[in-house]
Amino acid sequence: LGGSISRALQQMSNATIIDEKVLNECLNEISRALLQADVQFKMVRDMQTNIKKIVNLDDLAAGHNKRKIIQQAIFNELCKMLDPGKPSFTPKKGKTSIVMFVGLQGSGKTTTCTKYAYYHQKKGWKPALVCADTFRAGAFDQLKQNATKAKIPFYGSYMESDPVKIAAEGVERFKKENCDLIIVDTSGRHKQEAALFEEMRQVSEATKPDLVIFVMDSSIGQAAFDQAQAFKQSVAVGAVIVTKMDGHAKGGGALSAVAATKSPVIFIGTGEHMDEFEVFDVKPFVSRLLGMGDWSGFMDKIHEVVPMDQQPELLQKLTEGNFTLRIMYEQFQNILKMGPIGQVFSMIPGFSAELMPKGREKESQARIKRFMTIMDSMTNEELDSSNPKLLNESRILRIARGSGRPVREVEEMLEEYKRLAKVWSKMKGLKIPKKDAEANW
């Protein structure tokens, strides 16, 4: 995909006169690529029309940066398509919210319910899970297993076959227990049968959810729009979660889901495990859709702010992909200094928003310093290993004692390490654009 778009733009820059014909050819090529990424046909056509309105042919003819202009226009247009114009209902900690999950069978609802609960639990919420799927054999067992693993209270029944009754009972119980996030998992059948939608409506009626989340498998292709629309017509969908983004799908269906439900994507699922769950971020997502790689902006920044002589070493570390605790320590130092490299690292998705949220810099800095104090009590072997399994219970205890910090904090630091290691691993094998990015998309 990235290849064909760069080819399209290459053709464009080779043409001596940028007339409408060339722009059209270029847009057609990019459109084909977007269709391959499962963006809906109609949306691609709309995007084409808009780009033609935005991109001024005279500017293109005169300027040197034709490619940048078109690239930026397409990028912005796709970002706009992912923005429904209003945020979704956001639950508030300490206040009871009921969130209902809907979607076809196999889309990842049950898995995502647990991820969503776990994500909030880690931030100090009191979530609970209700299994209102009485259709699929083993549905309750699956939820129970997930919930137990994450130590999240759950409710369900092997005997009761009425999902509406279970949902209502579960929500009632957890309201009494003062849970602040009551999550209702529903059944989804293979097809968009009338019975499924009726059941969903009844569960919704009985539980009065504050938010209904539509869960969509990223690999469903062009079917995304109709599917999302069918759900929206039956229940008040207010947000979307796209799952299985760790697979091959580029996720163009997300644009359809946003258009069909008029709701934002709030998270993406990136694996089967509980912590493979990310806050949805429009720009990296669109980069991926265009095959630009999530890191293009980041690389530009490196060239811009890192002194030339430090670039090779830094880039080598990045692309080797072995993230050790020592590298994390060094990056923490950089972030605290906020020197040029610190700035760069604060741009990496994952490093930035999660580690140092805007407006909470002081808190975050204190947290990073605590982590560094803990790491000061680690051995060289521990710091240079990229295998977190090395740190067994007795080592954790030793490090906690040595640094005078609680075991819980050592574990928290290791969780942060695992999270950042995952971000880092995406850089492995990364092709680094030359400083003169003209030759690269």
Applying CB under 5 A, which of residues 97, 110, 186, 207 lies at the interface with Mg ion? 110
Where residue 231 falls (left for φ over 0; alpha for ψ -120 to 50; beta otherwise) is alpha
Nearest to 152 by CA among 181, 190, 132, 175: 181
Cα(234)–Cα(196) distance, integer angstroms: 10
Question: In angstroms, what is the minimal distance from the CB of 215 to ligand GDP?
Answer: 6
Within 241-270, the residues that bind ligand GDP by CB under 6 A are: 243-244, 246-247, 269-270
Applying CB under 6 A, which of residues 108, 251, 342, 349 lies at the interface with ligand GDP? 108
Q: Which residue has the tokens 């909470």?
A: 360
Applying CB under 6 A, which of residues 48, 71, 111, 207 lies at the interface with ligand GDP? 111
Cα(22)–Cα(11) distance, integer angstroms: 8
Report in angstroms the alpha-carbon separations of 250 from 4, 35, 74, 347, 373. 15, 11, 16, 23, 41
In the complex with Mg ion, which residue's Cβ is closer, 252 or 269? 269
Cα(422)–Cα(15) distance, integer angstroms: 42
Residue nearest to ligand GDP (CB): 269
67 binds, among ligand GDP, Mg ion, none (CB under 5 to 8 A by kind): none
Question: In angstroms, what is the minimal distance from the CB of 14 to ligand GDP?
Answer: 41
Judged by CB under 6 A, does residue 272 bind ligand GDP? yes
In the complex with ligand GDP, which residue's Cβ is closer, 269 or 293? 269
The amino acid sitting at 4 is: S
Cα(389)–Cα(393) distance, integer angstroms: 10
271 binds, among Mg ion, ligand GDP, none (CB under 5 to 8 A by kind): ligand GDP
In the complex with Mg ion, which residue's Cβ is closer, 133 or 169? 133
Judged by CB under 6 A, does residue 106 bind ligand GDP? yes
270 binds, among ligand GDP, Mg ion, none (CB under 5 to 8 A by kind): ligand GDP
The answer to whether the beta carbons of residues 255 and 265 sit under 8 Å apart is: no
Where residue 276 falls (left for φ over 0; alpha for ψ -120 to 50; beta otherwise) is beta
Question: In angstroms, what is the minimal distance from the CB of 138 to ligand GDP?
Answer: 9
Applying CB under 6 A, which of residues 66, 67, 109, 250 lies at the interface with ligand GDP? 109
Q: What angle do CA 20, 24, 29 make, to 5 degrees?
A: 155
Question: In angstroms, what is the minimal distance from the CB of 292 to ligand GDP?
Answer: 22
246 binds, among ligand GDP, Mg ion, none (CB under 5 to 8 A by kind): ligand GDP
Residue 232: both structure tokens together: 């929206």
The number of residues making up the chain comes to 441
The contact set with Mg ion (CB under 5 A) reads 109-110
